[in-house]
Amino acid sequence: MTTHAPWRAFFAVAALAGAAFVTYADTAAAKTPGKTYCYNKVCHRVKTLDEMEKLVGHEEVLVSSYYDDCKVDKFNPCTRLSSGEEHRPDLPDNAASPVYPNGTILLLEKNGTKLLVRVNNSGPYRKGRMLDVSRAAAEELGFKKKGVAKIKVTVISGPIR
């Protein structure tokens, strides 16, 4: 597993220690857990904190796309993320999900490459897609050229209460 941000090692250790929830100081609650959001006639309900607690350790395969800097990605509207943060397409540690609340930590795996990401945005709002990763994450996972891939996703922790 590669490490690109100081908090990644902390999350990995906490996950191995069986921590159900990990504290991250910048976790924002911009996507309200339990609420449904719609964009372009595609609607998703954000999981509640109780649902997230039960999902720790859960594995599933999701279709993922990636998003880049708004100057090169026509689908990225150049606005702040739902967490209030700025998008960091050059770092492989962030992702967007319409169903996982901001602050959720996910372990992504494709072809033996593993990455820890923190959900900090909503979207993608395209039918059949449940995850958008940064451009750098797509590069590390080996699907930037294709643009879309099936990714094994394990929930490491939900956001703090």
The per-residue DSSP string of 14-33 comes to HHHTT-SB---TT----SPT
On whether residue 1 sits in a domain, the answer given is no
Of 14 and 47, the structure prediction assigns the larger pLDDT to 47
pLDDT tier, 123 (very low <50, low <70, confident <90, very high otherwise): confident
Look up residue 71 and give its DSSP letter. Answer: T
On whether residue 141 sits in a domain, the answer given is yes
Question: For residue 61, is pLDDT > 80?
Answer: yes
**CATH number of the domain enclosing 148:** 2.40.40.10
On whether residue 21 sits in a domain, the answer given is yes
On whether residue 55 sits in a domain, the answer given is yes
Rounded to the nearest 10°, the torsion over CA 53, 56, 60, 66 is 80
CB 154 within 8 A of CB 58: yes
On whether residue 17 sits in a domain, the answer given is yes
pLDDT tier, 86 (very low <50, low <70, confident <90, very high otherwise): confident
CB 134 within 8 A of CB 92: yes
Tally of structural domains, the chain: 1
CB 156 within 8 A of CB 116: yes
On whether residue 39 sits in a domain, the answer given is yes
> Rounded to an integer, what distance in angstroms lies between the CA atom of residue 109 and that of residue 70?
26
Structural domain of 33: 6-157
On whether residue 95 sits in a domain, the answer given is yes
On whether residue 70 sits in a domain, the answer given is yes
> Rounded to an integer, what distance in angstroms lies between the CA atom of residue 108 and that of residue 79?
26
pTM of the model: 0.75
- Termini Cα distance of the chain: 28
